[in-house]
Amino acid sequence: MAKKIKIEPDTSTEEKIKEAARKVFTQKGYAATRTRDIAEEAGINLALLNYYFRSKEKLFEIIMMEKMHALFGVLVPVLNDSTTSLEKKIELVSVNYIELLSHTPDLPLFVLSEIRSSPQAFGERMQANKLIKDSHFIKQLTEKRKDLHPLQFLMSLLGMLLFPFIARPVFGSVGVLAQKEFDFLMEERKRLIPQWMKLILNSN
């Protein structure tokens, strides 16, 4: 009797599928994406995709967790560091986020599309309650400005960081902002955003 040969997964094929999934999920969103779309983008047949990933749900879960880790992984350690001043936290978050988004410009649109389609599930995955209410950053904000709701400050900071990358495709499509100029502006924002946020902290 012939011995059955076990086929080991090919990591290069697996990564090719994941890369295709990132692209298609970002373009179409979860609901509108079919596994066939991902297979076509990866240049493989549907059976091979199903061999590596049993379902669209499983593949999306992997991609989503990667995206969330990238987007919030730079945020949580900084916000919860009890040894870093509030001003230094703002500086670190600004620089780290802009560098991250400059290398993964599709990230905000992908995450925002999933927040819109399933906000509760997204909030549970990222442990939003712990991040927003229990971080050392929020405690520092409350001590610094008792008259300012900490979420007002956090929303303003994240909005300044994320919105340029969300609006970038629009700027590019109408020809008002070339990539080189956009990159220059983002480098400037690493310095400017901490200054703007400090002005808010110190205003009466």
Determine the pLDDT at residue 127.
64
Determine the pLDDT at residue 128.
63
Determine the pLDDT at residue 10.
60
Per-residue pLDDT tens for 108-167?
777 777 677 777 766 666 666 666 677 889 999 999 999 999 889 988 998 999 899 888
**Burial (CB count <10 Å: 0-12, 13-18, 19+), residue 49:** buried
Per-residue pLDDT tens for 73-96?
777 888 889 999 999 999 999 998
- For the ranges 23-37, 40-54, 70-84, 121-135, the lowest mean pLDDT is seen at 121-135
> Are the beta carbons of 200 and 156 closer than 8 angstroms?
yes
Specify the DSSP class assigned to residue 43. Answer: T
> Are the beta carbons of 105 and 168 closer than 8 angstroms?
yes
Per-residue pLDDT tens for 167-188?
888 887 888 888 899 999 999 9
Closest CA to 136 of 101, 107, 93, 98: 93
3-state secondary structure (DSSP) of residue 27:
helix
Determine the pLDDT at residue 5.
39
Average pLDDT of span 11-34:
85
